[in-house]
Amino acid sequence: MAINRWDPFRDVLSLQNRMNSLFQDYTRGQGESDTLATAAFVPPVDVYEDEHKVVLKLEVPGMKQEDFDIRVENNTLTVRGERKFEKEEKEENFHRIERRYGTFYRAFTVPNTISTENVDASYDAGVLKIELQKRAEAKPKQIKVSVGSAKPIEAPKAETKPAA
């Protein structure tokens, strides 16, 4: 008799995947005019910042450089793309298709501290990396404290009243 490890979250994750699939199928059929409704998948993104830039990393494996459309307009960064299904294999030969294909759209509000002229994008190992440089005035400045050149502060002298 084999011992199976019980995972209490396995059923919850299975239910979540089924619900996500149900909602995506429902929104896909609602009309072709709305970009968000026709998105076949939404790639996950990590956003972090340091003192010089804000970086976004989108997980979009299996795509080519020309499949991306990245724009910055009116303090909004938009990333659009399309992951195409390989037509060389017949669909009836597949036992299972779990990867999502089609178009995606992500929009991010860019803070005023970002210079929209200095945006770099690179794609490596299935990760699209977008770097937004901060403006010079938004970068932290270190203020040097000088030691020993300041005059000591004198304490106010207490007034003495003559004894009456």
Q: Render pLDDT for 3-21 as a digit per residue (tens, 0 to 9).
A: 777 777 777 777 777 787 7
Q: What is the CATH number of the domain that holds 110?
A: 2.60.40.790
Question: What is the pTM for the complete model shown?
Answer: 0.59
Is residue 29 a contact partner of residue 44, using CB atoms and an 8 Å limit?
no
What is the count of structural domains for the chain? 1
Question: Each residue of 118-129: pLDDT tens digit?
Answer: 899 999 999 999
Three-state DSSP class for residue 27: helix
Question: Each residue of 24-45: pLDDT tens digit?
Answer: 666 555 544 444 444 467 889 9
Burial call 5-31: b when 16+ CB within 10 Å, e when fewer: eeeeeeeeeeeeeeeeeeebeeeeeee
Residue 82 lies in a domain: yes
Tell me what percent of the residues of the chain surpass a pLDDT of 70: 73
Is residue 105 a contact partner of residue 78, using CB atoms and an 8 Å limit?
yes
Is residue 57 a contact partner of residue 131, using CB atoms and an 8 Å limit?
no
**Arithmetic mean of pLDDT, 134-157:** 72
**Arithmetic mean of pLDDT, 127-134:** 94
Is the pLDDT confidence value at 94 over 70?
yes
Enter the DSSP assignment of 10: H
Written as one string, the DSSP assignment of 93-156 is G-S---S--EEEEEEEEPPTTEEEEEEEEEEETTEEEEEEEEPGGGS----PPP-S-SPPPPPP
Residue 117 lies in a domain: yes
Is residue 101 a contact partner of residue 40, using CB atoms and an 8 Å limit?
yes
Residue 31 lies in a domain: no
Domain of residue 102, residue span: 38-138
Residue 18 lies in a domain: no
Residue 42 lies in a domain: yes
Give pLDDT, residue 16: 79
Taking the C-alpha atoms of residue 150 and residue 9, their distance in angstroms, rounded to an integer, is 64
